Amino acid sequence: AMPLRSKAGNTLTCGVFGLLTGLWISDTQTGLRGLPACALEAFSNLEGDRYEYEINMLIKANELKMPVEEVSIETIYIDNNSSSHFNGLKDGLKIYRLMFRQAGRFCASSIISAVIDYVLFILCHYAVHLTAVPAQIIARVVSSLTNYTLNSRMVFGRKATPQSFAKYYLLAACILACSCGGLKLLTLIHVPELLAKIIVDAVLYVVSYRVQRGKIFDK
C-alpha cells in the first residue's frame, strides 16, 4: 500500500544497497528500529542525521556482521504521504553518496591501477624494448600490487596481512578463470564478443568488490 513515488525510490535504493553490501532488506529508510544494547557503542559515533544516519546504521551493521531481522508492520499513509519531509533529490543524493562512498574509492583504485598497468607496459615495451610478454608481466605485477595496497588502506581501511595478500591473488586467479569461461560461454550462445566481455567484466567487477569487502578486507 506504499505510494508509487515512495515505493519506486525505496525499491531502487534497496536493490542498489543489496548489490553493494549483500544485505537484502525490503526497506532501508524505516525509522522504526529496535537496537540491542551491544550495538549502541558502534552506532553512537556514526556521522549524519535523519536519512543519512539511517543508511549509515545499515552500512555499519553490515560491516560488523551484525544480524538484521525485519519484522513486518502495517503503515498508514495520509493523503498519499504528502506530509513526508523526504526531499527526493537532496536526501536521495545524500543517501547514495554514503552508499557509493566505498565503492567509489574502489573504482578510483581500479582506475589508478589500470593507468599504471598501461603506462608501465608502454615504457617496458617501447622504451626499454622488452618483448610484449615480459612487459605485460612486469606491468601486471606492479599494478596488482598497487591495487592491493590501495584497496587494503584507502578503500577498506585495513592493514595488509599475509592472509589478505594470499586471498587477494587467489581471487584474482578465480576472476581471470571466470572471465575466460564466461566469455566463452556467451560467445557460444551467439552473444557478440564485445558485448559479452562488457557483461562478464561488469558482473565480475561487482563480485570482486563484494568478495574483497566481505572476505578479504573484512573487519
What was the pLDDT predicted at 80? 61
- Position with higher pLDDT, 120 vs 9: 120
Q: Please report, for residues 3, 15, 104, 114, 180, the alpha-carbon distance to residue 193 in angstroms, rounded to integers and kept in the order given.
A: 42, 28, 28, 21, 12
Please state, rounded to an integer, the average pLDDT across all residues of the chain: 83
Cell numbers placing 177? 578463470
What was the pLDDT predicted at 8? 76
Percentage of the chain with pLDDT > 90? 21
- DSSP 3-state of 65: coil
What was the pLDDT predicted at 88? 59
Residues 60-89 have a mean pLDDT of 74
Give CA–CA dist 124/35, Å, rounded: 57
Give CA–CA dist 118/143, Å, rounded: 9
Residues 10-16 have a mean pLDDT of 83
| HSE-up (13 A, CA, CB side) for residue 195 | 7
Say if residue 87's pLDDT is above 80.
Answer: no
Residues 81-98 have a mean pLDDT of 64
What was the pLDDT predicted at 89? 64
Say if residue 100's pLDDT is above 80.
Answer: no
Residues 22-32 have a mean pLDDT of 83
Q: What is the pLDDT of residues 114-133, one digit of tens each?
A: 999 889 988 988 887 888 77
Length of the chain: 219
Of 9-13, 80-84, 115-119, 195-199, which gets the smallest average pLDDT?
80-84
To the question of pTM greater than 0.95 for the whole model, the response is no
| HSE-up (13 A, CA, CB side) for residue 215 | 12
| Nearest alpha carbon to residue 68 among 113, 21, 115, 101 | 21
Residues 171-181 have a mean pLDDT of 90
What was the pLDDT predicted at 92? 66
Give CA–CA dist 166/131, Å, rounded: 29
Say if residue 108's pLDDT is above 70.
Answer: yes
- Position with higher pLDDT, 135 vs 150: 150
Give CA–CA dist 198/204, Å, rounded: 10
